[in-house]
Amino acid sequence: MTKSTYLEAGRRAVMEEMQRDASVWALGEDLGRGGVFGQYKGLQEMFGAGRIADTPISEACIMGAAVGAAMTGTRPIVEMRFSDFALCAVDELVNQAAKARFMFGGQMRVPLVVREPVGMWRSSAAQHSQSLESWYTHIPGLVVVAPATPADNLGLLKASIRCDDPVVYMEHKNLWAMEGDLPEGDHVVPLGKADVAREGRDLTIVTWSGMRHECLKAASALASEGIEAEVIDLRTLWPWDRDTVFASVEKTGRLLVAHEAVAVSGFGAEIAATVAEALHFRLKAPVTRLGAPRIPIAYAPTMENEARVSADRITASARRMMQPAGVS
């Protein structure tokens, strides 16, 4: 094991995959100087401008070029800087990359990875703070990944680069500096497999991305009150690991889904509905979901915090779910 940050883990994944496979390359704005967060630092010097390619300031151009390159045999890593900016390239991703395999009868695949930094980060305000995962989980043909730890950012990014379908890869900006242990060697985390971050008997909390860490804080607080919460980090949102979630809810009888994105039409609703439909006879309390209110994210920290799903909010919801029926 070696210590590394979440950001450096992603950089290592790109470097190792480019060393392993000559068809892997990256394109985006300012990659030559390391990328907006430094996640490509030194890679252009290592691999050259042909494989770490700087592009015009046009998300549609970047995505369109990557889709064509993927269709003709390469494996592009598409850097979108912010998930908010990637909305300028939705047509190329959703109408072309996601549908090509189906529309060409399986004769063509589009093996690309779209890196989209997500989430609230240092008063970045309404146009740089969104979590838009549910936009992509809605689209047939896309794989959606949301790593929460340095080890997962290494292993999931490597798995995504090797995937033969287009992957929307959502890294949380607030985790760039997080440190953790990285395995040595070729560490690959399978897509579609959740991580049980903490085991428990009383309540299942399902989450992903940066909310993993808030949920673990909440679970620690609940444990001091005698409530043992099981925390599941999905890691991959599509396909999501139903087996692990179902097994946990069958054990605990309670499900709380927590995510940073707006609650309305958020991916938590898909998990809540699926579990409620399949396991309603096992539930001891109604399924609960937590998400941000349907408001733009403000610049001012005090207003920004009103949109945050915090460990305190998770703890309060879990306490309510543990109360006997009829007690409010």
**3-state SS class at 88:** helix
The amino acid present at 318, given as its one-letter code, is: A
Give how far Cα 161 sits from Cα of 14, 24, 73, 246, Å.
Answer: 8, 8, 13, 29
Which architecture, in CATH terms, is 195-322? 3-Layer(aba) Sandwich (3.40)
Q: pLDDT at residue 268 above 90?
A: yes
In angstroms, the CA 270 to CA 134 distance is: 9
pLDDT at 290: 81
* Mean of pLDDT values over 16-43: 96
In angstroms, the CA 151 to CA 163 distance is: 18
**What's phi and psi for 144, nearest 5 deg?**
-130, 125
Residue that is written with structure tokens 């679970």 in the block: 219
pLDDT at 48: 97
DSSP category for residue 126:
T
**3-state SS class at 59:** helix
Confidence of residue 326 (pLDDT cuts 50, 70, 90): low
- Least confident span in 86-95, 225-234, 275-284, 287-296: 287-296
Q: pLDDT at residue 280 above 70?
A: yes
Average pLDDT in the chain: 93
pLDDT at 151: 98
DSSP category for residue 93:
I
Instruction: Check if 2-182 and 195-322 are the same fold.
Output: yes
Angle, nearest 10°, between helix axes 211-223 and 311-322?
A: 50
- Domain ranges in the chain? 2-182, 195-322
Residues in CB range of 74: below 8 A, 6 or more apart: 23, 24, 25
Tokens of 188: 């690959």
In angstroms, the CA 201 to CA 227 distance is: 8
DSSP category for residue 94:
I
Work out the number of other CB atoms within 10 angstroms of the CB of residue 126. 13
What is the percent of the chain where pLDDT is above 70? 97
Confidence of residue 95 (pLDDT cuts 50, 70, 90): very high
Residue that is written with structure tokens 């560490």 in the block: 187
CA dihedral (118, 120, 126, 130) positive or negative: positive
Confidence of residue 303 (pLDDT cuts 50, 70, 90): confident
- Domain covering 2-182, topology: Rossmann fold (3.40.50)
pLDDT at 77: 98
HEC profile for 225-242?
Answer: CCCCEEEEECCEEECCCH
pLDDT at 293: 83
Residues in CB range of 112: below 8 A, 6 or more apart: 66, 67, 69, 70, 75, 76, 77, 78, 97, 166, 167
- Residues identified as active-site: 128
* Mean of pLDDT values over 241-252: 97
- 185-236 pLDDT, tens per residue? 999 999 999 999 999 999 999 999 999 999 999 999 999 999 999 999 999 9
* Mean of pLDDT values over 231-247: 98
